[in-house]
Chains A and B, each alone.
Chain A
Amino acid sequence: MPEELNSKGYDIPPEMQSLVAITTLDKIYNWGRRYSVWPMMFGLACCAIEMICTAAARFDFSRFGMEIMRPSPRQADLMLVSGTVTKKMVPQIVRLYNQMPEPKYVVAMGACACGGGPFKEGYNVVSGIDKFLPVDVYIPGCPPTPQALLFGLMKVQEMIDTQSLKEVRWYQKGELPAIPVPILGPDLIDPRDYPEFAEKLAKAQAEVTEPEGA
């Protein structure tokens, strides 16, 4: 039994120490989850290559219990958004996220996934995946080195450690709402914008017609 499982303040006889652990339900639940995170095999752009390198022999993230990458969202619990999120791709990314079972985590890997990166001003680029999905860990870099990615994944593990069965969202009553899938119209449309769409559009049009500073 690993030392880290034991709660403090309980004396376990020396001869029992490798056999018995006195711990809390939260702790053993999180201990099990932190060493069996299954990332989704999902590469968007340049960062995906560094993700492959991290999975390969030199860096090897299976040391952290993350070796099984699943191409199917139904079997994955960590979404590594590795690369530039484009408007054409974001409906699929949101759909994939919705298909992942709870508990699930999102890591924004690289400058583009964090906030658009060098391509932010592009007409087909979303300014960061956090415009649509709840991101747990941001990893800066263009691309982040494998070491940076490993550090980010360790942060996910630390985050798992702090979660409590009583509070986690997937054990609350009621259904968890799915994230509305964006629509490809004349430009990308976020269904969450619908209520104030006309108002916002009028404001945007007014800014275009009026010269700046007027």
Chain B
Amino acid sequence: MTETTLAIANDIEARFPQCVTPDERGGYEGYLIEAGKLVEFATALRDEFGYDFLSSVTGVDYLPDEKMEVVYHTYRSTGGGAFVFKVQTPRQTPSVPSLCGIFPGAEFQEREAWDLLGIHFQGHPDLRRILMWEGFEGHPLRKDWKEAYYESDAKPFDSRWPVGEIYRAEDENPFKGNVVYPQGFDPDKWTPEGETALYAGMHEVETDEAMHTDQIVVNLGPQHPSTHGVFRMVATLDGETIVKLRPVMGYLHRNHEKIGERNTYLMNIPFTDRLDYLSSMTANWGYVQAVEKLLGPKTAAPERAEYIRVIMAEFTRISNHLMAIGALLNDLGAYFTPMLYALKERELILDIFEATAGSRMMCNYYRFGGLARDLPAGVYEKMRDLAFERLPRQIDELDRYLTENEVVIARCEGVGVLTPEEAIAYSAVGPVLRASGVPYDVRRADPYGIYERFDFDVAVRYHGDVYDRYLVRLDEIRQSIRILQQALDDLPEGEIMAGKPKYSMRVPAGEAYGRVEAPKGELGFYVVSDGSANPWRYHVRAPSFINLTALSKMCEGDKVADAVIILGSIDIVLGETDR
């Protein structure tokens, strides 16, 4: 149990006798709450104990125990460790009260748990499927749900070359594809469910305008140049003003978690690259951190590895923010020229990644207890040149061209405002939270790695609009350069891996939540181990996904053209949003 949890343990138990019990399973932490008392408990936790930031909500299917469990990770927005609480519910009829009323940031995460695990949340305002489509058969993350290409529960699978002849998974399926239908399904007698649930309440939204005018419903996406991938927004417009907006996602839902639960621990690292494909290094770090927590202190990374981890993470942050700024300007209509400036610098950072990790984007570089390989000759000098000479100048150049630009200011200032209270309530993280005046950065609030050793400021701005989100990113690049300069100066010689690299390791049973400050915000990995070679539960708390919860709040009342830049200012990556 974390220190902060211990400090309030007595108070919690005294405040809620009977219905709150410490979770005493080996390797687990936090408290088990009675479902009936959940709302009352969460309200008290937020208002009396100060845990006002709900970071992650997810479900776990404990099939052998015939139970479903919903796990909540809460933090104080002033910093410190997690307070974890859980609710158990019978597996046949899983149902727990919704926390949307207390933490609006739970909305999408609860919908995801409903979609993938079939856990019903009583009192949820809009409990629809979120990643799969309405009408899809079954809840795929349940342990007894088998996909069409199912081979066995855990990898590595048997050889697909059993008799000296290769076969493909789809050749085994009568439909020659990745599909499976329920018994007796007849497409002729079936009508599609369509999107009636999505459009419900979208037509004719009540407004307090004196003159009644017709409203129209507009779809932006999934194929739209401004959506940064395959994202869709359904908006009800009154003239050009958005009166209601609903994000629709799942067009890039690649079943990361289901695949992750079949993989061995090591096999998951390259999959984390493909979550946020603009910043694969930090995604590696989050996952590695969660598993290292399970493995215990004997796998602590050596000094040199810790430094290189920080260096790579900060270069990733710079390259991600460059891309975010370039894309935001694209959305503003400055088509591709600012992007070219941003990509020019990003290429130089990618060169470093390619030389070190072997790939430009999918780095697959961090390992449990260290790194995959050391820096090759010549890379250190290149890094120094970038961090001390080139990048500071180039960032100033970007700043000079864009920050004072009249069009940028006119379009961005006062658009998509999120107040600090709303930002915390909606579980916004990263630059979105910090632009709203909340100086919360995991690197400072709950330090990991060796970030405590470096001198840097948490970038914060106070207006909560699109312009401030742009400025926060620019500030963060400058702070990252500061960290890089210190880390490169202090980089020690030595090993880069604790012990010998291993293909499979025994991960003790238990749960762990590892979180890092990824460029897009707090990226968390919730891993449950049952002691076998594969994780029992593997959940990603994706910042792009949860930041979108506040999207409709930010867009309502603004013009439809502003929705595009508000989305751009959140800086989403669909690989992470949909997973």
Contact = CB atoms under 8 A, between A and B. Distances in A.
Q: Bound pair: A and B?
A: yes
B178 A88 contact: no
Interface in B187-225: 187-188, 190, 192, 222-225
A152 interface: no
Nearest to B147: A123
Contacts of B131: 124
B129 to A, nearest CB: 10
Interface in A40-79: 41-46, 48-50, 52-53, 55-58, 71
Contacts of B184: 201
A194 B175 CA distance: 11
Contacts, number: 171
A203 B137 contact: no
A57 B344 contact: yes
A203 B251 CA distance: 30
Interface stretch (A19-27, A101-109, A113-121, A169-177): A113-121
B251 A189 contact: no
Given A49-B278, A124-B255, A186 B340 contact: no
A156 to B, nearest CB: 21
A46 B362 contact: yes
B297 to A, nearest CB: 32
Contacts of B296: none
B135 A96 contact: no
A123 B147 CA distance: 5
A48 B229 contact: yes
Contact of A187 (B151, B179, B277): B179
Interface residues of B, number: 64
B518 to A, nearest CB: 16
A184 B192 contact: yes
A185 B132 CA distance: 11
A161 interface: no
Contacts of A56: 339-340, 343-344, 347
A160 interface: no
A188 B274 CA distance: 24
A205 B239 CA distance: 53
Nearest to A189: B187
Contacts of A45: 229, 252, 254, 274, 277, 574-575
A184 B252 contact: no
Contact of B135 (A89, A122, A184): A184
B259 A121 contact: yes
A44 B147 contact: no
B252 to A, nearest CB: 6
Contacts of A119: 254-256, 259
Interface in A174-200: 183-190, 193-194, 197-198, 200
Contacts of A89: 222, 230, 251-252
Nearest to B180: A187
B182 interface: yes
Nearest to A90: B251
A187 B188 CA distance: 15
30 contacts: A49-B278, A50-B360, A56-B339, A56-B340, A56-B347, A58-B347, A71-B225, A83-B252, A84-B254, A86-B252, A86-B253, A118-B270, A119-B255, A120-B169, A122-B254, A122-B258, A122-B259, A123-B147, A123-B255, A127-B177, A184-B136, A184-B192, A185-B135, A185-B187, A186-B136, A188-B177, A193-B175, A200-B174, A201-B174, A204-B180
Interface of B: 131-133, 135-137, 140, 147-151, 169-170, 173-188, 190, 192, 222-225, 229-230, 250-256, 258-259, 262, 270-271, 274, 277-278, 336, 339-340, 343-344, 347, 360-362, 574-575
Interface of A: 41-46, 48-50, 52-53, 55-58, 71, 83-84, 86-89, 92, 96, 116, 118-127, 131, 142-143, 145, 183-190, 193-194, 197-198, 200-201, 203-205, 207
Given A121-B150, A205-B183, 8 more contacts: A57-B343, A118-B274, A122-B147, A123-B148, A131-B177, A185-B185, A189-B187, A194-B188
